Amino acid sequence: MRVRPRLTTNRRNTPVILAVRAIIFPLAAGNTVVLKSSELSPRTHFLVAELLRTAGFPAGTVNLLGRSREDVPRIMEALI
pTM: 0.68
Q: What are the pLDDT digits (tens) for 30-42?
A: 999 988 887 777 8
User: Residue 1: what pLDDT?
Assistant: 63
Q: What are the pLDDT digits (tens) for 7-33?
A: 555 566 678 888 888 888 999 999 999
Which is more confidently placed, 42 or 54?
54
Q: List beta partners, residue 62.
A: 33
Which is more confidently placed, 1 or 8?
1
In sequence order, what DSSP letters do the residues of 22-50 get, joined into one string?
Answer: HHHHHHHTT--EEEEPPSS-HHHHHHHHH
